[in-house]
Chain A
Amino acid sequence: GQQVKQSSPSLTVQEGGISILNCDYENDMFDYFAWYKKYPDNSPTLLISVRSNVDKREDGRLTVFLNKSGKHFSLHITASQPEDTAVYLCAAGSNTGYQNFYFGKGTSLTVIP
């Protein structure tokens, strides 16, 4: 089965608003959670990541919230801008001995000016 799931394939937000992207995972051994950004014809690049010993991490306009009991994490983008328009991929993994790392299928975010 799919280890990491993004239930919303697309999201449209007005410029200046808050974009909220959600991700669910299956394996409760996962202890590393990340969001990647992908432009067309480019490979994914890391935006922000968090380990399982914290439930929140902020970096500028980005905040990751982690809910381990619910096996859910989210990315909040405040003051969304048109240049935030891209596909956002969530990923989760584990470092128990050997590292595995799985991605969701992505959410396409469109920020309307």
Chain B
Amino acid sequence: EAGVTQSPRYAVLQEGQAVSFWCDPISGHDTLYWYQQPRDQGPQLLVYFRDEAVIDNSQLPSDRFSAVRPKGTNSTLKIQSAKQGDTATYLCASSSGTTNTEVFFGKGTRLTVV
């Protein structure tokens, strides 16, 4: 079974630039999460979806961050006008929400904003 796939693995931006991260969850998993993990900290939930619907995006900085999952499968997280404080690893994860089983993580995208 393929795991959660994310791309790119690394990104380096200057402040003010935009970037998009892509995630392909495990097939059949209806719940998809995006987490931000600053260095030496735990993952902090940004947004999660059940199928194509946003369930909770209260922690997503709405002025510069956006996330979509239009067909309930792959998802894209976009940062407009990146700031140095956005430097972190962005983790995508998925689970089968109906059975509340393990949350599986992708390898993440490490973003550095200079």
Query: Which residues does A use to contact B, with CB under 8 Å?
Result: 6, 31-32, 34, 42-46, 49, 51, 87, 89, 91, 93, 95, 98-106, 108
Contacts and interface: CB of A to CB of B under 8 A. Distances in A.
A49 B43 contact: no
A100 B56 contact: yes
A110 to B, nearest CB: 14
B77 to A, nearest CB: 15
Contacts of B35: 103
B42 A105 contact: yes
Contacts of A32: 100
A24 B11 CA distance: 34
Contacts of A34: 102-103
Given A100-B48, A101-B33, A95 B106 contact: no
6 contacts: A34-B102, A46-B103, A99-B100, A102-B45, A106-B40, A108-B40
B106 A46 contact: no
A89 to B, nearest CB: 5
Given A43-B107, A98-B55, A103-B35, A49 B102 contact: yes
B21 interface: no
A93 B43 CA distance: 14
B8 to A, nearest CB: 15
Contacts of A45: 105
Nearest to A95: B100
Interface in B6-47: 31, 33, 35, 40-45
Contacts of B75: none
Contact of A106 (B41, B102, B108): B41
B106 A103 contact: no
B105 A101 contact: no
B97 A95 contact: yes
A51 B100 CA distance: 10
